Amino acid sequence: MTVADAASGGPADRSAPRPVLEHTDLHHGKIWDLVSETVDLGESQVVREFVDHPGAVAVIALDEDDRVLLLRQYRHPVRAELWEPPAGLRDVDGEPPHVTAARELAEEADLRAGTWHLLAEFANSPGGSNERILVYLARDLSEVPEAERFAREDEEAGMVPLWLPLDDAVTAVLEGRLHSPSAAVGVLAAAASRDRGWSTLRPV
């Protein structure tokens, strides 16, 4: 640990953009694009190709019995059905991320939450994508009235819900039975925050 890190309480990632000398759109996709950029690192210039992603949110919904909601969803790139928290893309211009999280919780799980906090955030694959995922903790849950529920389609139509005790979810992550990054980060962050009396939670 450096002197600066020790003085500030520990290491922290920081924004440090480098000059982009050239930007090329290689492929425009349905959800995200593939781009190439020539970056000036000072002593050298490098070309990096990466996925230009709008970002996403995930919701750790925790009920009064300390159970977390996971949804089984088919993910074609990995050819697997994964257990994940409710989640979605930040694909509505101008929509605050906590509003996106509330919308996804309602659309995917027919739930509303009376209490929201920012639980964690991470870069999903920083070597190949600029995707940033914000993980929210949702509590004081209630059901969306049936007449107001969202009609799910495609992969979302077959999602299966599971309420799992948070400690069991932690065990599933540590034993390698849960592979979704938002599930792993969210479950472990929720358990760690709970063990600290929720003192690490941040306002939305």
How distant, in Å, are the alpha carbons of 21, 41, 105 from that of 18?
9, 6, 36
From start to end of the chain, where are the E strands?
20-28, 33-40, 45-52, 56-61, 67-75, 80-84, 87-89, 111-123, 132-143, 160-165
d(CA 176, CA 87): 21
**Catalytic positions, written as ranges:** 156
d(CA 113, CA 126): 31
Contact 58, 87 (CB under 8 A): yes
Given the structure tokens 């003192």, which residue do they identify?
A: 199
**Which secondary-structure segment (H or E) carries 172?**
helix 166-174
Nearest to residue 143, comparing CAs of 48, 69, 91? 69
What are residue 33's phi and psi, to 5 degrees? -115, 160
d(CA 60, CA 8): 29
